[in-house]
Amino acid sequence: MTIRKHRLTTLLTGLLCLGVQAFAQNQEMSPLLMEAIGSNADSIPVSREECIDIALSQSPTIRIADLEVKRVNFAKRETIGNLLPQIGFSLSYQRSIELQTIRMNMGGQSQKLKMGSDNTWNTGFSVSLPVIAPALWKAISISDTQIAQNLESARSSRLELVNQVNKAYYALMLAIASKDVIKQNYDIAKYTAEIYKKQFEQGTASEYDVLRSEVQVKNIEPSLLDADISVKQCQLSLNVLMGIDDALNLYPTVTMEDMQKDMYAYMLESKSLSGNSSLRSLELQQKMAAENVTMKKFAWIPTLGASFNLNWLSLSNGPMFRDVEFSPYSSVGISLSVPVFSGGAKWYQMKQAQVQEKELAFQKENLVNSLKMQVDLALDNINRQAKQIDSSKEGVRQAKKAHEIMLKSFQIGAASYLQLRDSELADTSARLSYLQAIYNYLVSTSELDLLLGKDSAIVKAN
């Protein structure tokens, strides 16, 4: 683990340095980068696990999912905060323009009296606390479920990203291996054409043989060019998934033949669907729907709150700050709110929540049946592809042997060039089919891991 961690750190440092180098080519290259990429600054060998580690640490999708988990966590704390005492402070000033006037009979005469004061200062603290608040209590439980949903969403994003990186890595391996096969076929055709050309110059071969062999070389060149483009496209796809510079050329540390030797070590311990992300998300939705039903029922429960106020009041006449003298006054109270009638709104809201809960139960049943069928089909497909690999491997052996026999026959003049060329094409086709069979098997196992939601497929970036 320590060696792998050091290699991954070195690789990431090298990738970063290479990105900086694109903007500052005159600066000396980092020793860590040299260690990561060797003598070729454009070719970096990476393992599939390292690609997954980098993708999980660099992918914007994963970062967004992680931030969403943090956001919901803050929302839960907000809900908890509503259960705590709410403390407020206020300060107000009021200046009377015209005082109120009242009339009073005094000694048989009606007199006018001014009521109030020119300046009114009022300041103080207010405290409120929910004592009985079932809806708030249930909101905390719903927040926990929402957090679990977001965590599962983040996990699903990771599983999907791992599957995409796996397929991109396998596609790059297939493209490189296929290119090598086509290149070997091209080299053989080119070598044969050169032999015929020399024989023609010596008078032992016809011009027709020279032209025919050169045409074969030209016929292979487009396939070789397509193979080269395919490799570059696969490298670009892998770079995009990893979130690194698209100018970097990544190469697998293993070959398709290496994967074929070890791929039968893939074991399916269980067909349990407990790890399937879609099913787990639906179960969390069911849980939230049930909690929502309970919350709608809590709407009929009375709520009780307590309050406390501590204030200071100052009344004065004249200038604003003249004779300011604050006098304290305080109060404490309890408020009870009892829902009596709301036109049936609460009742129908509860009914909607119950219907939604039943819908999710049917959706889960349908999803489980569908997933079981997909798992069975995936296993059948993997078994079929394993047999296809064995068949293709035997085909490669037979095609190679047939080509060797035809080559010896051609060398002694017992076979024509067309027969030799047919054996070469058969050998090339068999090898390409063999590589494609290995690729199909590897992709199918990755898809099955995604379907079962195997957490072991996620390689954590340590």
Residue type, 94: Q
Taking the C-alpha atoms of residue 77 and residue 73, their distance in angstroms, rounded to an integer, is 6
Rounded Cα–Cα distance for residues 410 and 398 (Å): 18
R_g over Cα of the chain: 39
| CA–CA separation, 25 and 40 (whole Å) | 15
CA angle 106, 107, 109 (to 5 degrees): 65
pLDDT at residue 170 greater than cutoff 60: yes
Q: Which two tokens stand for residue 201?
A: 């110059």
pLDDT above 50 (res 37): no
Top mean pLDDT of 58-67, 71-80, 123-132, 184-193 is at 123-132
pLDDT bin (cut points 50, 70, 90) of residue 262 is low
Asked if residue 23 has pLDDT above 60, the reply is no
Kindly indicate the confidence band of residue 138, based on its pLDDT and cuts at 50, 70 and 90.
confident
Higher pLDDT, 434 or 100: 434
Which residues, at least 6 apart from 134, have a Cβ–Cβ distance to it below 8 Å?
298, 301, 303
Count the Cβ atoms, other than its own, within 10 Å of residue 308.
15
The whole-angstrom distance between residue 309's C-alpha and the CA centroid of its chain comes to: 51
Q: Of all residues in the chain, what percent carry a pLDDT higher than 90?
A: 30
Question: What pLDDT is attached to residue 462?
Answer: 39
**Predicted pLDDT at 67:** 87
Q: Please, what is the average pLDDT of the chain?
A: 82
Beta-carbon contacts of 438 under 8 Å, excluding residues fewer than 6 positions away, are: 174, 256, 259, 260, 263, 389
Of 425, 441, 437, nearest in space to 391 by CA: 437
CB 136 within 8 Å of CB 295: no
What would the pLDDT profile of 367-424 be if each residue is shown by its tens digit?
999 999 999 999 898 889 888 988 998 999 999 999 889 888 877 878 777 888 888 8
pLDDT band at 266 (very low <50, low <70, confident <90, very high): low
> How much is the pTM?
0.76
